[in-house]
Each structure stands twice: as structure tokens, then as C-alpha cells.
Structure 1
Amino acid sequence: MQDVLKAMVYGHKSPGLVEIKPVIDGQELLMQARLSLEKQEDGVKIVTHPKQEQPDFDKPFMGIVLTEQAKEQFQKTGHSGRVFDFESVAGAKKVPSFISLDKMTNRFETVALKEIYIPQTLKNAPLSPKQQQGRREDTF
């Protein structure tokens, strides 16, 4: 349990699925989910990310309808293979992001391009900022 909490404190989801028992309409259901922590004005909230049996390729994700080619890409690699522009939370600007598939929960997620870490060196060869940006864009 300590490893689960440690990952969550650092802003990640739990490293594996956790058994949870939510009560819905008075019925206790047993399910698996990954957990994460979300900062609130009055403290911290535990967020559940329930497991789905299969990814829902036919339902639009954040306004994006997946093409047959995109569906094949997700099934093969677990990610979109291209950058999409999503509205920021504030709605003020577009955020270039990848869509990836959480293999444990079968749910889609976005990863902002700026959050992808690219090292300053590759096999001991220094990379210029332009090369790092190129690697970031070619990562997926």
C-alpha cells in the first residue's frame, strides 16, 4: 500500500489496479480501478479511474472521432501516433497533446506535448533545443 500512496503523492496514478467497493443505488459493487489524488481548495480528493473490459473506440473522446486507422494504431501501440489540439481547462488556448490508452483500465487519456520528457543528450551526444523538440514530436 505504501508504494501505491507514494506514486499518488508524486502526481501519478496507483501503479496497479486496486479493488474498490462503490455503493450505487444502495448496492455495493466490487470493481477494479486505478486511483490518483486531486488537489482541491479544501484538501485532497481521491479520484477513481475504473477499469473497462474493452476500450470504447466508437465513442468520441473529447470531441475526437477515431478513424479506422487510429483504432488500428491504438490496438497496435497504445497511443494515437499523432498530436491533437485540445482546449485547455480555462478554454483560453489549444494544448497540443497525444492520446494514449491506459492498458490497465482501457481508458483514453491525454498527455500534453510539453509534459513529455526528452533528455538533453542521446547516447552521450548533446541535443539542441530544436532537436529535442523534433524528438518530442516524433516520440509518438
Structure 2
Amino acid sequence: YRVTPETVKQEAKKEQQEAQTQQPAKETGATAQAPQQPDKSKYVIDPDKVDWEALKNFGLSKEQLEKAKALEPMLRGYKSPGAFTIAGNYNSAIMKLDARLSFRHDKDGNVVLAIHGIRQKPELERPFFGHEFSKEDKANLLETGNMGRIVNLKNYITGEMIPSFVSVDKVTNELVSMRASSVQIPDEIKGVKLNKEQKEALQEGKGVFLENMISNRKNPFSATVQVNADKKSLE
């Protein structure tokens, strides 16, 4: 089990309700409810392949992740919604930091824990996978958290140039990228149908102001919608 830093919106918090099934009690003849096993097909990470015992080396536990409602998004390939305090002793050096967490597969297919430490500010003065941030890029990232356009980022292992969106993790200030090809723009957002120009603008990473959207509580609202690489979706 290894710790690897991730080199590459906040996903909306979702609670999974475990289905329950009726099973007969062995002695009384009464019925008792037992939870079914979670549906692993929707997970990017197989929970059976996570070394839960090794999490204790960092002051963490499976139960702690469940209580914080972090386990579900982490198994689905996202970061934990909030930060955790990580503590450990490595070669006589004591490490303690606040970080968001995620599970990743290493090159051998093993599940590893990625630790996304909190930074004071985004590192915009250094090249990001070969991309030099322009003055406008920096302003957009600091103001909205999204760069607002697609740029080519270099995969230093394969040499491939990958069209990508870039955003700032608003919890850790980490720069995050996402392949532009992985985004599918819907025909409708919160009850508002998108026209061709709006869909094209969103696909290019631009922000689009939409009026009279309907919230989950059935209230109308207006807001700017844009692709967020950290949340891996529109926000």
C-alpha cells in the first residue's frame, strides 16, 4: 500500500440508501431486515481491493470516511468532499497536514491513497504540464476557479498533447485538469433548454449565464454555468 500525490467541484454530496431485504429469523419465525451488498458496478474503485487496515497508518479508518460521507464519492473516483487531518511517522519524521483524499490505481492496478494537501494559493507562476498561464488565465482561475478555455497539456510519460480543462480545487488550491473529450454537455440544465451557441460555449469551457433555472427545491434561480475540472462536471 503506497501513498502517491496526484499529478493530474466538489462533487455534489450524495447519500446512497442501502436497499434492505426481508429474511426470515431462524428461531422466532419473525422477519428481520438485512442490508444488501452495495452495487460495485457504479464504483471506479473496488472496495474489496482497498487496504483498509493500512489507512490506520495515517490516522484514518473506513468508518471515519463513511461518517464524513467521503467514502461513496472516493469509491466513485472523486476526491473526498472535505479535508481530513493526516498524521503519520515516516523514517523518524512526523508528518501532519490537512488534505482531501482520493483513491487511485497505480500502474500495476493496485489501489493507492492520493493525498491532496492544502496550499496557500494556486501555483500559477509555474508551467502546468507544459502550459504557461496567461494573464487572463490567472485572473479567471483566481476569480471563478475555472480557466474558461481548453488548452493542450502534455502527458510527460507518453508525450501526448491532451486538450484539457483546468480548474482550481477550492478546498486545497490544487490545480486540476480534465480531458475535454470526457465532458458531455446536456440539452437541458435545471429546466432550461440550451441553444446551439450555449452548448458550444460550454463545450469550449466558457461560462454561460442561464436564467430561470429550477432548483431541487422547485425555486427559480439564475447563475453562470461552466465546466469545472475538479468536480468533473458542470457547476
Q: What TM-score results when the alignment is normalised by the length of structure 1?
A: 0.81
Identify which of 193, 203, 206 aligns with 1:136. 203
1:31-75 Cα deviation digits (max 9, x unpaired)? 111111112435311111111111122122112222222211111
**Which residue identity lines up with residue 64 of structure 1 in the other structure?**
H
Q: Partner residue of 1:4?
A: 70
Q: Are the counterparts in 2 of residues 102 and 109 from structure 1 also a CA contact under 8 Å?
A: yes
Taking the aligned partners of 1:134 and 1:76, their CA distance within structure 2 comes to: 19
Q: Are the counterparts in 1 of residues 165 and 180 from structure 2 also a CA contact under 8 Å?
A: yes
The more displaced of 101-110 and 42-51 is 42-51
Return the offset for 1:119: 1.2
Q: Partner residue of 2:103?
A: 37
Q: Are the counterparts in 2 of residues 18 and 32 from structure 1 also a CA contact under 8 Å?
A: yes
Q: What TM-score results when the alignment is normalised by the length of structure 2?
A: 0.51
Total equivalences in the alignment: 139
Taking the aligned partners of 1:127 and 1:68, their CA distance within structure 2 comes to: 31
Q: Are the counterparts in 2 of residues 18 and 34 from structure 1 also a CA contact under 8 Å?
A: yes
SS at match of 1:21: strand
Query: Is 1:100 aligned with 2:198?
Result: no
Return the offset for 1:16: 0.6
The more displaced of 96-105 and 110-119 is 110-119
Q: Are the counterparts in 1 of residues 165 and 205 from structure 2 also a CA contact under 8 Å?
A: no
Taking the aligned partners of 2:199 and 2:157, their CA distance within structure 1 comes to: 28
Query: Is 1:59 aligned with 2:126?
Result: yes
Taking the aligned partners of 2:177 and 2:205, their CA distance within structure 1 comes to: 16
Identify which of 88, 92, 112 aligns with 1:26. 92
Structure 2 gap ranges (5+): 1-64, 208-235
Return the offset for 1:6: 0.8
Structure 1 gap ranges (5+): none
Say which one has the larger Rg.
Answer: 2
Q: CA RMSD in A?
A: 2.6
Taking the aligned partners of 1:125 and 1:44, their CA distance within structure 2 comes to: 40
